Structure 1
Amino acid sequence: MQYQKFKFNGYAIPFQDFIPLLKFLYSNCNSISSIIFKFSEVNFNINNYSLVEECSTQMIVSQHNLKKISFGIFYNLNLYNPFLSLKNSNCSNTLNTIVFYFINFKNIINILREVFDHLNVLESIHLINCNYLNSNFVQQIIKVIKPFKLKSLIIHEILHIESLLLLLQKCGYYLENIRYFYTNVLDDNNIYLIIKNNQHNINYLTIAVKFYEYDTVYNELSSTVLKNLGQILSPKLEYLCLVLLFNTSDLEIFLKNSQNTFIKKLLIRNIVMYGDGDGDFNILFYIKKYIMKKERVKYLAILEEDELFFPKKEVNEFKLYNIIVQKYHDLCIYNYSYIINNYLQY
């Protein structure tokens, strides 16, 4: 039997069904080129963990033409043997893409170098909201002899800036997609240093405050972003998404500082804080002045209390300047689905 792609979603398949399915596939299919593992511990009894790990490992080892693989949300499942099997399988000369999604690297930290040095044609590595990206992780990656081609780095906070900067010294040249979700650390300027040092190869950038965290000081965080970001952007970006509490004075600073940057897709989500006088709902005037009239974007989405997309008069005005206004959620790139659709598809 021949399949090009296998997507295993542990959320959707009951345990009693997927183990027989995995056994059938690794016994009968050896030409799968793309495997996506996405596990949920809620479907597993702790006594079944070893069986899940064994079947996942066998699934990888049985393949002769595996080119792309994604490990997602392993929780208490041990990734050690499935990951190590990449070294011991037939894919050392075929595997070109690996995605790690919500993976804790603690259990595989000691085999990172060993495995990556056996992958001879690896072209694309993606880290999405992973844990244990500390000095131990970075030291293992630095020791990897082959290029570590990190294309996507999506993180919610920077805990080990020195280690992260060392990692980017090794692989920052390859980085295309960086997304950072701000916490409540007001003096965290590390993200700007990372962007500045890698500005010429970053094409996709998202910076957002966690507006569902009630203790976040939205106005100070947002002000810090708008005052520091514009001047370090590259001359051309494919995608910029800002989820902030905007005020017009800081927004104008950002727009002036970034006036030499063309952005293909610009998304602005202005956080609405009822009862807070720091936000501003009159940002459209500045968007028109610095973005629309200078034709600095191709696609635009703005979400405040209402969408910019719905007043057709506004949409038509932007169209006169060759700017296409879209719905925010239609234009927004969602991390996991974007990586899967763009790097694990044929």
Structure 2
Amino acid sequence: IIIFYGIDFRNILHIKKAFKQLNGLEFIHILECLIFNSNFIQQIIDLDKPLKLISLFIMNENDQRSLFMSDEDRNLQIESMQLLFQKSGEYLENIGIDSYVNDVLKCRALEFINNYCERIKFFDIHMSNIQKVHIVLDSVKIFGQNLNYFSIGVFIHHEKNESIIEMLLKLAQVLPCKLEYLELYFTGTPIVKNVWEVFLKRYTETQLSTYSNYSSHKKGMTDEFKEFESYNIKVKGYYNLHIKAYEFIDEMY
């Protein structure tokens, strides 16, 4: 097993040779590494043997090259990402996408995840607006009963309660019947109590062990937390229970 964590692969040119020498290598985890503005993916794709990439947590490459990337370079970036999912999608079990990843790249990544990945157990995703959440729900539906840990963050900016209710109802419909961990991370407009009640009524048939919540308006949510606990769901604060990718991988693998 190899775990790459926080590595900038843009300055590493011969990773392919290293992989070829590791004959007994079974599983690879890539956590919060800079890989898309480098030739790392192409070297991985060029490997003769299958690459058992189990975990891929994509972080924001917030530098001058990514901020001012041409359409042609962005398309090449997306094409290389698609090839990576084609090669390793059948092995992937854990996927995360950082909140600041470029929206175009994020949406295309979700498309590729939906097309090539069916074994996802751990899914961590942050969306910049509620209108794009539907593609995340498609992913959850595809993962089905394999999914055991799900974290979604959404920036809710002056959204109507009807839109939030619609999102939560759709979420309740696609969540697997057994889920070990659910994290909802909302920032922006506060979510009122009746919205949570609608979600819980639809969600009562699901066996959820632990629920983690973060809200920028958390202080006024005591009643909502009691409502969750009435369904035998443990409610924990975000910073008390948030699962970090590297800790999860280290413990599970």
| TM-score when normalising by structure 1 | 0.57
Q: Which amino acid aligns with 1:229?
A: V
Structure 2 gap segments, 5+ residues each: 62-73
CA distance 1:125–1:325, shift in 2 (3 Å) = same
In structure 2, the residue matched to 1:218 is none
Q: Give the Cα separation in 2 of the matches to 1:193 and 1:168.
A: 10
Report the Cα offset of residue 203 of structure 1: 1.0
Report the Cα offset of residue 185 of structure 1: 4.6
Among 106, 122, 129, the residue aligned to 1:204: 122
Which secondary structure state, in structure 2, belongs to the residue aligned with residue 333 of structure 1? coil
Structure 1 gap segments, 5+ residues each: 1-96, 210-220
CA distance 1:120–1:186, shift in 2 (3 Å) = closer
In structure 2, the residue matched to 1:341 is 251
Task: Work out whether residues 35 and 41 of structure 2, in 8 Å CA contact, stay in contact via their aligned partners in 1.
Answer: no
- If you compute each CA radius of gyration, which structure gives the higher value, 1 or 2? 1
Q: Give the Cα separation in 2 of the matches to 1:136 and 1:155.
A: 16
Q: Give the Cα separation in 1 of the matches to 2:192 and 2:129.
A: 15
Q: Which amino acid aligns with 2:2?
A: I
Deviant stretches of 4+, over 4 Å: 184-188, 307-312
Alignment of 1:119-268 (within 5 A): 119-134=22-37, 136-157=39-60, 160-183=77-100, 185-187=102-104, 188-208=106-126, 221-233=128-140, 234-236=143-145, 237-246=147-156, 247=159, 248-258=161-171, 259-262=173-176, 263-268=179-184
Report the Cα offset of residue 135 of structure 1: 6.5
Q: Which moved more, 1:242-251 or 1:223-232?
A: 242-251
Residues 223-266 of structure 1 show CA distances to partners (whole Å, capped at 9, x for unaligned) of 13323221231212111112223454344333444414313211
1:314 and 2:227 matched: yes
Larger relative contact order (Cα-Cα within 8 Å, sequence gap ≥ 6) = 2
Residues 130-171 of structure 1 show CA distances to partners (whole Å, capped at 9, x for unaligned) of 124346222211221222111111112486221111011111
Q: Which amino acid aligns with 2:231?
A: F
Percent sequence identity over matched residues? 28
User: In proportion to residue count, which structure has more helix?
Assistant: 2
Q: Give the Cα separation in 2 of the matches to 1:192 and 1:266.
A: 19
CA distance 1:198–1:324, shift in 2 (3 Å) = farther
Task: Work out whether residues 267 and 331 of structure 1, in 8 Å CA contact, stay in contact via their aligned partners in 2.
Answer: no
Q: Which amino acid aligns with 2:89?
A: G
Which secondary structure state, in structure 2, belongs to the residue aligned with residue 229 of structure 1? helix
Task: Work out whether residues 301 and 326 of structure 1, in 8 Å CA contact, stay in contact via their aligned partners in 2.
Answer: yes
Alpha-carbon RMSD across the aligned residues, in angstroms, is 2.8
Report the Cα offset of residue 222 of structure 1: 2.3
User: How many residue pairs are counted as aligned between the two chains?
Assistant: 226
| TM-score when normalising by structure 2 | 0.76
Q: Give the Cα separation in 1 of the matches to 2:101 and 2:252.
A: 32
